[in-house]
Structure 1
Amino acid sequence: MSTKKKMLWLLSLLPFFIACGDDNTDIPDWPWAEPETPTEPVEANPDIVNLGWTNVKSTYGTLPEHINVYKSPETLEGKKAIAYIAVGDMSKAAFGVLGEKTGLKKPKEFYEENNSTIVINGGFFYEGSLSLIWRNGEMVCKNNDVTAEDWTNGPFWYPVLAAFCEMNDGSFKSMWTYTTLSNVTYWYSEPSPVKSETTPNENFPSTGTVLNAKTGIGGGPVLLLDGNIKNTYEEEILSDIGATANRPRSAIGITNDKKMILFVCEGDGMTTGVAGMTTENVANIMKTLGCTDAINLDGGGSSCMLVNGQETIKTSDSSGDERSVASVVTLK
């Protein structure tokens, strides 16, 4: 074929190519979805962040979606502070209390045995627990039921002491409790009068209700009840906790929307200039965070919070390590 004929043949095909180029009906759709623009994770507790707390959840490895951990701003209650809170959505999280009437363990030992996401020290103790431990609907240990100015000569006092419980109906509340000689545990909405020598019963210091709870931990004082600050360290005769001194502190509370808040703050100068908080300070902090009910837990050298087994604050026990305690509170 001559060059001229080839050119004429190619020109004759040109309309066909143009037609094909204009008709998109035979071109298949792109089979993959358009890539989505990455979105920032939604903050679970924006009100807490707006108060100056920083979400540090990612610092501690993988945590369940329903548990978040926050570090405090540099000051709380006008004082230099290092504090942490664990916040659990109790529609999904599980509240636990570990420990027995006798025997002590370090928080990390409780963690190694239970592997809970959050472990914080619990109630008061000496050689064994002096505070309520309530687990699986049964009392493991009662709150201490008597104290004295002089254990030989008296007088003897019978305070009702703080507890924080998950009730059988799924609600959470602060209360005062007392276990009678017949082993009935009552809870009360009012504390005993200061240095009361009257033994609590079903009608004193207020109308008592038999405690039917799933889980509970004792401590003291009650910090918040029904949204009101209580801080009843005098009524609970808790002279040994230095309520008005700046110390490391631990606390537990619940918000109206069923977020449990576990609080711990450093103190005793483990970090220069960080002395700690009074129980009044802690009550104010817990209320500001949205708690309606809260109690103080053991503090000082006992204060410790672990997240996935890692420490948050520097503990101040004289051993230089975590203090062995009788009980811990867990979230998972």
Structure 2
Amino acid sequence: MKRMKRLHCHIPVLLLLLGLSVLTACNSDDHEDTIANWKWDKGLQPEENTDITRLGWTNVNADYGRLPAYINVYKAVKMPDDKPAVAFIAIAELGTDKAKFSVSNDIHWSKKAGANGNEKLFTPTEFYNNYESPVVVINGGLFFESGGFYYSQSSCYSEGSMLSPNQNYWSENWTDFWYPTIGFFYQDKAGEFHATWTYYASDGKDYSYSACKKIDKTKPETTAPDANSPSKGTVMNDGTAVYGIGGVSVLLHEGKVMNTWADELLDVAANSAQPRTAIGYDAAKKRLVFFVCEGRRMTPDVLGMTTAQVADMLKAIGCTEALNLDGGGSSCMLINGKQTIKPSDKKERAVIDACFIK
């Protein structure tokens, strides 16, 4: 740190300058009362997460206004192989009086559509405004539109209730079917986070499994997962999962790279460079991680990442559990309502659900 230069001015001049600064502050147009009343850092603090900055991430908290002491935001402009990147991570310390994770609760059952979803979508900024200005917002799970209704393809749990399960079938011709287990990231009643694979079975129970079911696409299936297949299932929709979001490709499970997109079947262009959104958890340090990366040359030469590259980056910063969420034009992260990456649609895409850190 450079030493401060000695000030060569007379005391009356100093007093005049101090008075002017007070008047300027009182007349500021920066209305801080519009920002939530978080517990702020007091003054400059040393970098807490040196394990992350050593990997090439730069703390960019100052770019996003006042942040709670338990949230830090980092940016990377290169991948580990030195290819250009624009990636952000928001890291939240968990615990009493610290970060809170939640998921939007707009998805519902439609009798008319015969499915879970919503009649309308919301941009991340609309979610930010509708949910009392969370510090961090990212887009959530997959969805599609048909007949004016938006169908949820991914699990969504809020306040202990299952609003939608993961899609529980896959077919290309509506003659041959497969029944995959699909990625799910959730917080349990004890406050721990898990990346797992789920299947909504015919008995009305949403089962979680310790491993992804293997799929052979040359052999159509006639039976679906249940309480004991492909392994013993744990029921999620009995209050076990408090908040949760589905996606495609569990990236990390119990510290190991999984990247099970091929067996989860829903297409997320896993092997091509794309904008990505992901969510992760560092079990050792009790840190929740939201990840987003830009792509499709919104910044020159920045193509995006494969799901394998995202998995490697999250593992490098300490994540033990992680899930890839909806990506491409849906990828977006807001910090205090401000965009991080440039969305590939050149504007925020409206999506079916979102995840928050408060």
- Interval of TM-score (by shorter of Structure 1 and Structure 2): 0.7 to 0.9
Q: How does 1:132-211 map to 2 (within 5 A)?
A: 132-151=155-174, 154-194=175-215, 195=217, 197=221, 198-211=223-236
Aligned-partner residue type, residue 97 of structure 1: V
Contact 1:104/1:128 (<8 A) preserved: no
In 1, Cα distance between the equivalents of 2:210 and 2:83?
32
The count of aligned residue pairs is 290
Contact 2:58/2:75 (<8 A) preserved: yes
In 1, Cα distance between the equivalents of 2:81 and 2:153?
30
Report what 2:246 is aligned to. Answer: 218
1:181 positional shift: 2.3
Aligned-partner residue type, residue 132 of structure 1: S
Q: How does 1:72-111 map to 2 (within 5 A)?
A: 72-91=76-95, 92-98=98-104, 99-100=106-107, 101-102=117-118, 103-111=120-128
Contact 2:248/2:268 (<8 A) preserved: no
Query: 1:329 aligns to what SS in structure 2?
Result: strand
Report what 2:355 is aligned to. Answer: 329
1:149 positional shift: 2.1
In 1, Cα distance between the equivalents of 2:325 and 2:81?
19
Query: 1:68 aligns to what SS in structure 2?
Result: strand
Contact 1:77/1:285 (<8 A) preserved: no
Q: How does 1:1-332 map to 2 (within 5 A)?
A: 40-91=44-95, 92-98=98-104, 99-100=106-107, 101-102=117-118, 103-114=120-131, 115-126=133-144, 127-151=150-174, 154-194=175-215, 195=217, 197=221, 198-211=223-236, 212-238=240-266, 240-255=267-282, 256-317=284-345, 320-332=346-358
Contact 1:77/1:281 (<8 A) preserved: no
In 1, Cα distance between the equivalents of 2:304 and 2:344?
11
In 2, Cα distance between the equivalents of 1:287 and 1:215?
23
RMSD of aligned alpha carbons = 1.4
Aligned-partner residue type, residue 162 of structure 1: G
In 2, Cα distance between the equivalents of 1:186 and 1:131?
14
Aligned-partner residue type, residue 171 of structure 2: A
Q: TM-score by structure 1 length?
A: 0.85
Distance 1:308 1:58, change over 3 A: same
Aligned-partner residue type, residue 205 of structure 1: P
Report what 2:111 is aligned to. Answer: none
Aligned-partner residue type, residue 337 of structure 2: G
Mark the runs of 5 or more structure 2 residues left unpaired by the alignment: 1-41, 108-116, 145-149
Q: Deviations over 1:213-251 (max 9, x none)?
A: 11100001000000000000111013x211000000010
Mark the runs of 5 or more structure 1 residues left unpaired by the alignment: 1-37
1:39 positional shift: 8.2
In 2, Cα distance between the equivalents of 1:285 and 1:249?
12
Identity among equivalent positions (%) equals 45
Q: Deviations over 1:289-309 (max 9, x none)?
A: 100000100000000000011
In 2, Cα distance between the equivalents of 1:289 and 1:299?
21
Q: TM-score by structure 2 length?
A: 0.79
Structure (1 or 2) with the larger CA radius of gyration = 1
Aligned-partner residue type, residue 64 of structure 1: P
